[in-house]
Structure 1
Amino acid sequence: MTSKGIGVVGAGISGLTLALRLQQLGVDVTLYADSSADEMRRSRLPNTVARMKSTRAREQALGSEHFTPAVSLSDTAKISIKGEPPLEFQGSLEHPFHALDFRLLIPAFLDDFTSRGGRLVVTEGSPGAAEVETWSADHELIVVAAGRRSVAELFPRDDRRSPYDRPQRSLLAGLYTGIAPAGFSYNVSPGCGEIFQMPMWTRDGLAAGMLVEAIPGGPLEPFTRLSYPDDPRAFTRTLEKVLAEHAPRIAERIDSGSFAPLGPDDLLQGAVTPVVRTPVAKLSTGRVALAIGDAWITNDPITGQGANLGSHCAWVTAEAIAGGGPYGEEFGRSVAAEMWRVAGPVTEWSNSFLQPPTEHVFRLFAGAAVDRGLADRFVNLFSDPVAAWAVFSDPAQVDALLAASEVSLPAAS
């Protein structure tokens, strides 16, 4: 049987960025997706994410920039830590964050791929290892970017890089009316969790995207498990009270008369166990399967890096594939090592932020609260995770930033 180049399993941001980039580089590629573009448009909300500087630049380079009205761009980020008084600061983003409903973005990517001649196979349900094994016989390399069954069966957990064996947050993501836009908002309620909110372009136009991250066993967790369809009014009124208590800077922008979820399909509840998996699997066909994106690493969304890391990994993989084979285990390990240059800092940063802030990170927060230049530097770190983790993981770097800003903080008691 004649090999058909590269097979890509999964049509999320990782799989489609990889497929589009390979297509752009002249590499023959077949994309396996468990939904058509129209089915994706009609689906339930998959996430609420912000795509940042490098991700947006890659989309522009692909000629796949979509749905970018100015009202959906956040050019400021405000951090608020609850306390008496609260610790707060706002910074200007050099490159605005863009929040877009993936039920618009991902189908648009898929339409780009097929309209440019891409080969698409729509599968029945999420593929498992058996399907990946079968498809691999037709390809020089198969890259798995999604697929719950195939991930679990082909790519075992890497215990060295996976410190958690259970979810560290209970999650509620949703789209809402009745919240006045005000850039990206990151709210911390110590011991309870985090609440993120930003303007987001959706199927219904501009809305407020919001993610509640509740610490298990804490006062926020019961809310993340409430059922909206059972009693929509009670859900909405309870959320108002939650925001007033744990994220007052969001609550003060709410219009009670119009505040509500867009609809039952615009809410997503669940939990994520952070995990890094072994990225390379040897298949019975003699081929290799390489995991990227969520198939390789699933981080809690606390640092907002999931989609951005998936885009980065796809780009690295495409460049390596375009460089030529053979696409064996050594190739897969080499690509994984190159991806880890960014994935490692993202993973360490995300896992670290699931715990209470260290003393030096808290000092950085406090410094940003009294120095606008430092606040700008802080919020722009979200677009550069390697630099972000270098700062957040190193007290000496924090001290250097504070000294350069000439910030004087009171000694810790």
Structure 2
Amino acid sequence: MAGIGIVGAGISGLTLALRLQQLGVEATLYSERDAASLRSGRLPNTVSRMGHTLARERELGSEHYRDPACLMGSARLSIKGDPPLEFLARISEPFHAVDFRLLLPAYLEDFTGRGGEVVVTGAPADAARMDRWSREHELMVVTAGRRSVAELFPRDPARSPFDRPQRVLTAGLYGGLDLGPVFSYNVSPGCGEILRMPMMTRGGVVSGVLVEAVPGGPLEALSHLPAAEVAGELAGLLAEHAPRLAERLDGGFELLGEDDLLQGAITPVVREAVAELPSGRIALAVGDAWITNDPLTGQGANLGSACAWIAADAIAAGGPYDAAFGRATAERMWEAAAPVTDWTNAFLRPPAAHVVTLLLAATTRQDVADLVLGLFANPAYAWAVISSPEEVARIVDGGGPAPYF
């Protein structure tokens, strides 16, 4: 072995491996599971990939499952109230949602089919194994692995404002809820958010639903129920907290299966990106190993893809792959990651007055509605808007989006 060692076969690790392969850089991918095991596992997430991520996949020649039924060209935002605040927006580049139990094995097979080397480890990597592997490579890049992450990359307190989960999550795949190729974002103030998207799965296109419950609120109970009780409880919660979704339920609303449910909570965190190993090599954290954002703004996979691309280009430019290289690469990645992290963390708090003004304008002006939903595909501009009363005022007064939107 030689070249670059990559730990983790999520979207960050596979994007990095495929991009390095495309750039002619030798890489070995260390995956806890093989393609067959990835396909047969539990639901790992409900993810929507957006324009820039899809463009990178096109450049890699790794486009899969492009069924029109899971390409979202419009989105509806609904905020519960009396009256509710609602608008439907067009998306310039459709969002795409595919069960990662289909998508990741397809990427893994792209990599191996083009000559890439994969080592199936069969167990999570820890720091000791990482150090042993590093002796065969010029650089280790860590994109996943709970034990290795905790041991190698400590929390960065300056960039991590939360020390506990801000939402309790329940994600599942359901039949009997058909809105067509529309992304639905529903807010119940003080209680949480409910997101629905059409997802390509092993059984065809169904609804992926993510419930983001404020801890201690009425939506949290869903995260503690056994799989057999989730759909019934969710149907009742939709009627109360997301009535637009409840209107589309039919008598066949049900969870697809026990493996199609994910329950838990995450603490948003940014970790140190560079670790020096006993071997003398460094380990660079990318993707979830570096930053874990709440999925409220749907940015996890998209940010992981973006940072993997930045890291690949930095690696392809040549070494030495020392601590200075790691820090410089981390700063380049942070330029992409900072607005995503700041914007997502802001969404976890009640909206500022100028954000409410923007949402109200979206209910009467289609151009503003399209801009607001388009922010999900352009997090740098999203944060520029959300953090700036002046930018919101310019938009609401008829200025439209900034030139780089």
Counterpart in the other structure of 1:206: 205
State the Cα distance separating 1:235 from its structure 2 match.
Answer: 2.9
1:206 partner letter: V
> Do structure 1's residue 13 and structure 2's residue 7 form an aligned pair?
no
1:174 partner letter: G
> Do structure 1's residue 311 and structure 2's residue 305 form an aligned pair?
yes
CA distance in 2, matches of 1:197, 1:133: 42
State the Cα distance separating 1:178 from its structure 2 match.
Answer: 0.4
CA distance in 2, matches of 1:377, 1:219: 31
1:195 partner letter: I
Counterpart in the other structure of 2:403: none
CA distance in 2, matches of 1:83, 1:405: 29
Counterpart in the other structure of 1:254: 249
CA distance in 2, matches of 1:269, 1:277: 24
CA contact (8 A) 2:199 2:208 kept: yes
CA contact (8 A) 2:230 2:255 kept: no
Residue 122 of structure 1 is aligned with which of 113, 120, 123? 120
* TM-score computed with the length of structure 2 as normaliser: 0.97
Give the stretch that moved more between structures: 59-68 or 215-224: 215-224
CA contact (8 A) 1:373 1:405 kept: no
> Do structure 1's residue 295 and structure 2's residue 289 form an aligned pair?
yes
State the Cα distance separating 1:226 from its structure 2 match.
Answer: 1.1
1:36 partner letter: D
Counterpart in the other structure of 1:55: 53
Q: How does 1:279-294 map to 2 (within 5 A)?
A: 279-294=273-288
CA distance in 2, matches of 1:284, 1:235: 47
Counterpart in the other structure of 1:411: none
Q: How does 1:176-325 map to 2 (within 5 A)?
A: 176-182=174-180, 183-228=182-227, 232=228, 234-255=229-250, 257-325=251-319
Q: How does 1:94-109 map to 2 (within 5 A)?
A: 94-109=92-107
* TM-score computed with the length of structure 1 as normaliser: 0.96
Deviations 1:197-223 (A, max 9, x none): 011100000100010000001111112
CA contact (8 A) 1:8 1:30 kept: yes
Counterpart in the other structure of 1:65: 63
CA distance in 1, matches of 2:379, 2:65: 25
SS in 1 for 2:177: coil
1:33 partner letter: S
CA distance in 2, matches of 1:370, 1:28: 53
Deviations 1:319-351 (A, max 9, x none): 000000001011111111111111000000111
1:296 partner letter: W
2:45 partner letter: N
Residue 81 of structure 1 is aligned with which of 60, 74, 79? 79
Deviations 1:230-265 (A, max 9, x none): xx2x4322211100000011111110x210011110
Gaps of at least 5 residues in structure 2 are 401-405
CA distance in 2, matches of 1:89, 1:346: 24
CA distance in 2, matches of 1:191, 1:235: 22
Aligned residues: 399
SS in 2 for 1:357: coil
> Do structure 1's residue 344 and structure 2's residue 344 form an aligned pair?
no
Counterpart in the other structure of 2:392: 398
CA distance in 2, matches of 1:83, 1:6: 53
CA distance in 2, matches of 1:249, 1:405: 31
2:170 partner letter: L
**CA RMSD between the two structures:** 0.9
Q: How does 1:136-155 map to 2 (within 5 A)?
A: 136-155=134-153
Gaps of at least 5 residues in structure 1 are 407-413
Counterpart in the other structure of 1:409: none
1:10 partner letter: G
CA distance in 2, matches of 1:15, 1:217: 35
- Taking only the aligned residue pairs, the percentage that are identical comes to 60
CA distance in 1, matches of 2:257, 2:399: 46
SS in 2 for 1:40: helix
CA distance in 1, matches of 2:15, 2:139: 17
SS in 1 for 2:363: helix
CA distance in 1, matches of 2:83, 2:179: 24
CA contact (8 A) 1:273 1:298 kept: yes
Residue 113 of structure 1 is aligned with which of 107, 111, 114? 111
Counterpart in the other structure of 2:34: 36
CA distance in 2, matches of 1:370, 1:24: 47
State the Cα distance separating 1:282 from its structure 2 match.
Answer: 0.7
2:249 partner letter: I
